[in-house]
Structure 1
Amino acid sequence: MTTSTKAAKIERLAELTAQNETSSGASLWREAFRRLKTSKMAIIGGVVIAAFIVMAVVGPWVAPHSPKALTWKDEVFLNRGEFVGPRGENWFGLDHLGRDMFSRFLVGARQTLLVGVVSMLIGLIIGAVIGVVSGAAATLGGAAGRRVDTVVMRITDIMLALPSLLLAASIAAVMGQSLTTVMIAVGVVQIPIFARLLRGSMLAQGSKDYVLAAKSLGIRKRRIVVTQILPNSLSPVIVQATLSLATAIIEAAALSYLGLGNPDPSVPEWGVMLSQAQRFFDNAPMMAVYPAVGIIITALGFTLLGEAMREALDPKLRG
């Protein structure tokens, strides 16, 4: 057998290996989607998330009043501290400045969704890059790669050792009060989680037979990482991204509640609404109940969907 014939067979074997892994990954996702369609937890979570997204998208257009307008300020001030509750023209009543609470709740959903999604994407993208570098170095980088992996993971361990809300609050306090600061602060907190998760998943995939076969066939390490290890390591990362949305929304609301969010209090956001409501909780508890329930239900929806995806992708639970 000539050298060119052997090379052609090796190349063909490598292509078949990649195709098998790709088809296996595709069938895994098809099976997971089938399980999700029959999961009550996934359906409930999906419905909650869909309702939240629709409200965030169309809220500013369907809000009956301007969320910033002090339309009923005279009525509130004349009541001498007695807040106006739900009524025909104000479904959720009025806040302490005479603004329509229902309109502020609808418009605030968009800000809450924006902060949660952007924060999650910051953590996902940067964390994934770190995880890929560390995982590839540890799996195929030899002694030098393992040293790089050790340094990177010790840095992420330091970040994970700090309480997430404390770390986010510290970053927000240093950067200054703004909505962008909240996004960055919450996103930075998510970075070590994604980095650790993807790195661990890549290490697990690095010991699989298809990786050993690719290495023995002389396929370039970069190609093994990009076409073999990384695609098969993304399942837990996608699940974590869904769960991290719930965490990001809660932590962003917490930072806004602490006064580290948008410096303009007239801009509605559920965390800001909670912060404003705490001074009037004795006289108007519903001012805090509406945004709090919105945050809880939205976070619950993302958590339910994330847990359902985790179960659907768990090989121990697949029949």
Structure 2
Amino acid sequence: MTTPPSPQNPAGTGTKSEAAPPLGRKAAKVDRLAELMGERRDDGHGAGVWREALARMRRSPMAISGAVIVTVFVLVALFSPLIAPYSPTAQTWGAEVFPNRNVFVGPRAENLLGLDNLGRDQFSRMVIGARQTLLVGVVATLVGFCVGALLGGSAGAAATLGGAWGRRFDNVVMRVIDMMLALPTLLLAVTVAALVGPSLTTVMIAVGVAQIPIFARLLRGAMISQGSRDYVLAAQALGVRKRRIALAHILPNSMGPVIVQSTLTLATAIIDAAALSYLGLGNPDPAFPEWGTMLADAQRFLSSAPSLAVYPALAIIVTALGFTLLGEAMREALDPKVRK
């Protein structure tokens, strides 16, 4: 049955079932939000920001160098029991070393990096110490990331969508963060470690607490910046709940700088953990290998056996450099101002 002529169908041909259905409201909303958020939907999938950043990092010599260093460090730390040829605490060659007479054993076939002042294999201690360094760095960064993201995310969401009450809550949280930032990072970590007592767990907590204000301020600032974007206004106009806007839209789009900062913080955490161990606030057992503790023990023999301090110092520097290069490359790849 044909339809009569009408303004919508001037020719008066075709059936009602042949008329093209209009675009669904839900699909139109999704396309509009995607357009406002800067995603291209020409192919139906959108261009992922992280995918584009990964493609740029593959062409960056800085990113490649950092990734190689970090990968080697992580592999050595994970498989250290299989790589270490000897026990790191066994004084197997103690009779060959006489620290009082400045007699040390350097690199040789059975000991690649020589022996320490107690006749222990230096290479085995370096390899096992990598696992402790990685553990301290990762756990400390996770502590700072989780607590800082919780405080900063709550303050950022409250300041953006919470109205007058939210702004008051944001002021209270950020004043606490400002007081933590007033203390230098290492001094705050030393204070926490001195109050709790020397142990490996103390080092993790102390370094993690010192990183909390960095993550909190960064995430709060990113969320406030995202709160003024067009897609947030569009979501509010469409009647989306404020809690959903904060958790499903603002928070995910604000995590990029925080993730990049976590990579950079790993380098700082490794250095701070080594500094606390150097000051005697780390593992109280001096026989257990940790790069900071090894560096502290070697300072007595700098004139007679400088290699005992050079090896752990180089390991700390190179590892921190690897995480720093990788973090800087990620920051540049995600920064719209420097995208090419």
**Structure 1 length normalisation: TM-score?**
0.94
Match of 1:29 in 2: 50
1:88 and 2:109 aligned: yes
Deviates more, 1:69-78 or 1:140-149: 69-78
- Counterpart CA distance in 1 for 2:328 and 2:81 is 31
Match of 2:308 in 1: 287
1:144 and 2:171 aligned: no
CA drift of 1:182 comes to 0.1
Of residues 176, 179, 194, the one that matches 2:197 is 176
Match of 1:62 in 2: 83
- Counterpart CA distance in 2 for 1:213 and 1:62 is 56
Match of 1:3 in 2: none
Match of 2:216 in 1: 195
Summarize deviations over 1:287-309 as a string: whole Å, max 9, x none: 00000000000000000000001
* Counterpart secondary structure, 2:89: coil
The residue type paired with residue 62 of structure 1 is I
Of residues 250, 256, 264, the one that matches 1:243 is 264
Of residues 225, 234, 244, the one that matches 2:255 is 234
Distance change in 2, residues 1:26/1:70 (3 Å): farther
Of residues 157, 167, 183, the one that matches 2:178 is 157
Decide which structure has the larger Cα Rg and report it: 2
The residue type paired with residue 266 of structure 1 is A
Unaligned runs of 5+ in 1: 1-7
Deviates more, 1:17-26 or 1:29-38: 17-26
The residue type paired with residue 214 of structure 2 is I
CA drift of 1:14 comes to 4.4
The residue type paired with residue 243 of structure 1 is L
Identity %: 65
Distance change in 2, residues 1:308/1:151 (3 Å): same
- Counterpart CA distance in 2 for 1:258 and 1:303 is 24
CA drift of 1:74 comes to 1.4
Of residues 175, 188, 195, the one that matches 1:167 is 188
Distance change in 2, residues 1:202/1:173 (3 Å): same
The answer on whether the counterparts of 2:106 and 2:114 sit within 8 Å (CA) in structure 1 is: yes
- Counterpart CA distance in 2 for 1:78 and 1:170 is 34
How many aligned positions are there? 311
**Structure 2 length normalisation: TM-score?**
0.88
Distance change in 2, residues 1:194/1:122 (3 Å): same
The answer on whether the counterparts of 1:18 and 1:227 sit within 8 Å (CA) in structure 2 is: no
Match of 2:66 in 1: 45
- Counterpart CA distance in 2 for 1:166 and 1:138 is 30
The answer on whether the counterparts of 2:33 and 2:234 sit within 8 Å (CA) in structure 1 is: no
The answer on whether the counterparts of 1:156 and 1:192 sit within 8 Å (CA) in structure 2 is: yes
The answer on whether the counterparts of 1:177 and 1:260 sit within 8 Å (CA) in structure 2 is: yes
Of residues 258, 266, 287, the one that matches 2:279 is 258
Superposition RMSD on alpha carbons, in Å? 1.6
User: Comparing both structures, which one devotes a greater share of its residues to helix?
Assistant: 1
Unaligned runs of 5+ in 2: 1-23, 41-45
Summarize deviations over 1:270-317 as a string: whole Å, max 9, x none: 011001111111111100000000000000000000000111011012
* Counterpart secondary structure, 1:250: helix
- Counterpart CA distance in 2 for 1:35 and 1:296 is 26
- Counterpart CA distance in 2 for 1:186 and 1:79 is 36
The answer on whether the counterparts of 1:18 and 1:228 sit within 8 Å (CA) in structure 2 is: no
- Counterpart CA distance in 2 for 1:132 and 1:13 is 30
- Counterpart CA distance in 1 for 2:232 and 2:161 is 10
Distance change in 2, residues 1:84/1:282 (3 Å): same
- Counterpart CA distance in 2 for 1:178 and 1:78 is 28
- Counterpart CA distance in 1 for 2:33 and 2:211 is 31
- Counterpart CA distance in 1 for 2:28 and 2:285 is 61
Match of 2:322 in 1: 301
Summarize deviations over 1:240-286 as a string: whole Å, max 9, x none: 01000000000000000000000111111101100111111111110
Summarize deviations over 1:1-58 as a string: whole Å, max 9, x none: xxxxxxx84x555444555549568521111111000000000000000010111111
* Counterpart secondary structure, 1:316: coil
Summarize deviations over 1:68-127 as a string: whole Å, max 9, x none: 001111111388331111111111111111101011001100000000000000000111
1:128 and 2:149 aligned: yes
* Counterpart secondary structure, 1:194: helix
* Larger RCO, structures 1/2 (Cα 8 Å, 6+ apart): 1
CA drift of 1:60 comes to 1.6
Distance change in 2, residues 1:256/1:27 (3 Å): same
